[in-house]
Amino acid sequence: MHLVEQYALSCGVKIDQPHIEQSYYPIIHDKFITLHASSGMGSKNYDYYKDVIEMIMPYLQEQDIQIIQIGDKKDQKINGCIDYCGVTNLKQSSYLINKALLHFGNDSFSAHVASGFDTKLVCLYSILYKECCGPYWGNKENQILIESDRMGLKPSFSNKEAVKMVNRIKPEQVASAVLDLLEISHTINNIETIHIGKEYHLPTISVIPNHVMPKSFAAGQAINILGDECFEPQNIAHWANNRIANIFIDQPIKIQYLKLIQKFIHQINYYVSMDTDISYINSIKNIGIKINLLCKDENILNDLKIKFFDDGVKLVKKKTKKDLDNIDLLCDNSRYKNSRKIISNGKIYSSKAAYSQGLEGDHDKIIDCDEFWEELDTIKIYNDTNTNSDR
């Protein structure tokens, strides 16, 4: 039974077409669709709208269709969308949805508003059954409701999930649904995602401190400074200044350097060994800097845990090709996107493997080497028959 029917039964009333209050909001775009990328429950929120937008944007641009993102001002802004987050109230948002060619997003109030206006709708479901809480009104031919693959499990009905089921929906499913309802021909069906790393939705900049950049570059942004790859204390201090720094080191930096940049350091990640001086670790903690102790060698992990008993040591286990579940789906048309960009000597690389082989820029062809598979957590791998296998 749908929730609307349950409420009607409990209240002893009949279900009718809803009246939705609207307030005019000036729109300068003739043709647009709306995106609501948030909801009242974090477990409903889909993390890969950026990829969806990148897929549909070329097709929408050909039709001169804009994407307006509605929602709360605290919502994460999606590149490629016109930002209306926090500038419209509920009535004004309803006005926008009514005027839109299509609305898409998470299971939230906006989906029900779209169904009330019979606006074309693409909506994602995971923690609830779409049959129970999906849009009640509107022409069902104008609606595509995508439910995640729960691997045979029932919905969690929970605000928090250790692994969000909604993220099991592939970006190309959402992108295809949007264009199909808009009756725009496309080749997105030729794309098949075969792997999305658990940290892919968290874009990061990793810097090898063999150079410096102006303070204005990535000012105020979070960056990883890989001092374990290149130990240049002065450069590390320069990179940390005016940014939110996660510093990775495997040898000590002078405390006076750390004091200069202390307010910019989010955390120091120290790869410890049996030779690491405990007093140095304590001196970092004593000046108020958070430190995270790491180990790459599983053979000495227990000894390190005893040595650094008060702090704890975490094992950093490298991913390998065997950790890819769909390894049999790799082919000449396999491509990748990495949410982690590596900067070295002023050049940007798409992956650690691309950096090690000197392949700068937007490189996307699979590099079958250990360095590539180490980054499985931040990588999306997909097959695209639209691409040239020799690219």
Query: For the segment 211-235, what is each residue's pLDDT rounded down to a tens digit?
Result: 999 989 999 999 999 999 999 999 9
pLDDT attached to residue 150: 87
Q: Which residues of 207-229 are buried (b: 16+ CB within 10 A; e: fewer)?
A: bbbebbeeeebbeeeebbbbbbb
- Give the span between the Cα atoms of 376 and 200, in whole angstroms: 9
The predicted model gives 57-71 an average pLDDT of 97
pLDDT for 388 equals 57
Domain boundaries, the chain: 3-186, 194-391
The arithmetic mean of pLDDT across residues 222-251, rounded, is: 96
The sheet that has 82-83: what strands, in order across it? 82-83, 66-70, 32-36, 102-106, 120-125, 143-147
pTM of the model: 0.90
Percent over 90 (pLDDT), the chain: 88
pLDDT of amino acid 349: 97
For the segment 237-250, the average pLDDT, to the nearest whole number, is 95
pLDDT band at 151 (very low <50, low <70, confident <90, very high): confident
| Mean pLDDT score across all residues of the chain | 94
Task: For residues 122 and 213, give the distance between their C-alpha atoms in angstroms, rounded to a whole number.
Answer: 43
Instruction: Name the residue with tokens 């900049």.
Output: 205
Are the CB atoms for 60 and 66 separated by under 8 Å? yes
Q: How far is CA 102 from CA 17, 25, 178, 229, 278, in A?
A: 20, 17, 8, 48, 60
- Which residue intervals of the chain are DSSP H helices? 3-11, 49-62, 90-99, 109-117, 130-133, 171-181, 233-240, 255-260, 278-286, 301-307, 352-356, 370-373
Mean pLDDT (whole number) for 184-191: 96
Judge: domain 3-186, CATH 3.40.50.300: no
Would you place residue 194 in the very low, low, confident or very high pLDDT band (cuts 50, 70, 90)?
Answer: very high
Q: What is the pLDDT of residue 389?
A: 44
The reported pLDDT for the residue numbered 108 is 93
